[in-house]
Amino acid sequence: MPRIASRIAAITPSATLVVDSKAKALKADGQPVIGFGAGEPDFPTPAHIVEAARQALNDPKNFRYSPSAGLPELKQAIAEKTLRDSGVQVEPSQVLVTNGGKQAVYEAFAAVIDTGDDVLLPAPYWTTYPECIRLAGGNPIEVFAGSEQDYKVTVEQLEAAYTPATKALLFVSPSNPTGSVYTEEETRAIGQWALAKGIFVFTDEIYEHLTYDGVDSVSILKVVPELTPNCIILNGVAKTYAMTGWRVGWMVGPQDVIAAASNLQSHLSSNVNNIAQRAALAALAGPQDEVAVMHAAFDRRRKAIVAGLNAIEGVHCPTPQGAFYAYPDVRGLLGKEFDGVRPQTSAELADLILEKALVAVVPGEAFGPSGYLRLSYALSDEDLAEGVERLQKFLGSAR
């Protein structure tokens, strides 16, 4: 018998964390690596959120078990935030607070997807989605949209991928890894298609506050409210409030789905850390001034990285309208010679970039087809400028 269960052995390591670990190891070894790998804001968590955590340490009740589905006051705040930001009215009983957004993603699929179910997965996609679908027993069905479509799938593509085994669609806008944002019309069309098919929609809205150029992120449930019985919203405080390490996420959905996922969590992990929950409450209910400051910095960096990448011959980078990622199409560089090496895939190109230019990027294979790179611009302006300059020098040497 194998020592490791097959369902666990089949899990692919998170490529973004692998790249980030490589970059940090090289830095620790004294190498001046610039890391575009991890999707993590470089800002400190706003001071009033940290202070709320400090105050929570003075209350002994936070040292005890609390309801496994989340603190009642935080669930209320999430319900109010969902109405305020997504335009969707829900009850606190429809909220499950989780240990970060990843746990929300996993538990949502685990609660709904059964063995043999197909889940339509628009690609490029975040690395964790297909693994969670497989862990639930489902089959991720990739639906790819390239740079010529601004990385956004169409109803026609979804229809072509649909089978009688299709139980759900994952809808992500703004997108990790591409930064693409679906328009209200595109969102409504996809929502109406899903409604007509009678399938579930999992919508990840964790980047909802990070949009640019006057573009709004529109919740699919707001424009197609008839999806309510079959729609699950995934979210968290990590990206908007620079709270990646606090590990607070949530899912919002139909009562029966939330009850099932809450039952799973009661056995899996019980309640989320109470101090972190108090901090998340302060983030959602407190002042939002620093969110605007971080947003302005991301927008500035977004413009800089897109201009820098598009100045490289053989690179095409659509302008992202959301999140904090650029997703350049580098198929024009594959097969060319760099220092005597001819990379045939974006994975080989990314390895070469790290080795020769000391710049860490994530290859497209982590998110779907080869031929692309993901670069997070959630790093300092100085590091971004240095990293782009190195990329221009190295990639510009292609023959």
- 352: tokens are 């070469």
33 and 63 within one domain: no
102 and 11 within one domain: no
Largest CA distance in the chain: 65
Indicate the Cα dihedral angle 355, 26, 24, 340, nearest 10°: 0
Helix (H) or strand (E) holding 56, with range, is: helix 47-56
360 and 214 within one domain: no
Last residue in a domain, options 239, 255, 287? 287
Given a cut of 80, is residue 20 above it in pLDDT? Answer: no
- Is residue 179 included in any domain, yes or no? yes
280 and 373 within one domain: no
104 and 253 within one domain: yes
Given a cut of 80, is residue 17 above it in pLDDT? Answer: no
296 and 382 within one domain: yes
pLDDT band at 265 (very low <50, low <70, confident <90, very high): very high
211 bridge partner residues: 322
**CA dist., res. 398 & res. 256, Å (int):** 56
Find the mean pLDDT for residues 87-104.
97
Given a cut of 90, is residue 127 above it in pLDDT? Answer: yes
Tens of pLDDT, residues 294-308: 999 999 999 999 999
- Specify the CATH number for the domain of residue 61: 3.40.640.10
Looking at the structure of the chain, the number of domains it has is 2
The pTM is what?
0.95
- Is residue 1 included in any domain, yes or no? no
**CA dist., res. 379 & res. 293, Å (int):** 14
Given a cut of 80, is residue 271 above it in pLDDT? Answer: yes
Residues 153 and 185 sit within 8 Å (Cβ to Cβ): no
- Specify the CATH number for the domain of residue 12: 3.90.1150.10
Given a cut of 80, is residue 19 above it in pLDDT? Answer: no
258 and 392 within one domain: no
pLDDT of residue 254: 98
pLDDT of residue 1: 84
Last residue in a domain, options 260, 287, 314? 287
Which residues span the domain enclosing 200?
Answer: 47-287
Q: How far is CA 186 from the centre of its chain?
A: 20
254 and 330 within one domain: no
Collapsing DSSP to helix, strand or coil, 17 comes out as helix
Given a cut of 90, is residue 27 above it in pLDDT? Answer: no
Given a cut of 90, is residue 316 above it in pLDDT? Answer: yes
pLDDT of residue 325: 98
Last residue in a domain, options 287, 310, 345? 287
Find the mean pLDDT for residues 220-230.
98
Tens of pLDDT, residues 148-197: 999 999 999 999 999 999 999 999 999 999 999 999 999 999 999 999 99
For the chain, helix (H) and strand (E) counts, in that order, are 14, 12
pLDDT of residue 180: 98
Find the mean pLDDT for residues 346-355.
93
**CA dist., res. 53 & res. 273, Å (int):** 11
313 and 257 within one domain: no
Q: Across all residues in the chain, what is the average pLDDT?
A: 96
Find the mean pLDDT for residues 279-297.
96
pLDDT of residue 88: 95
Q: Hey, which of 7-11, 23-27, 314-318 has the most confident mean pLDDT?
A: 314-318
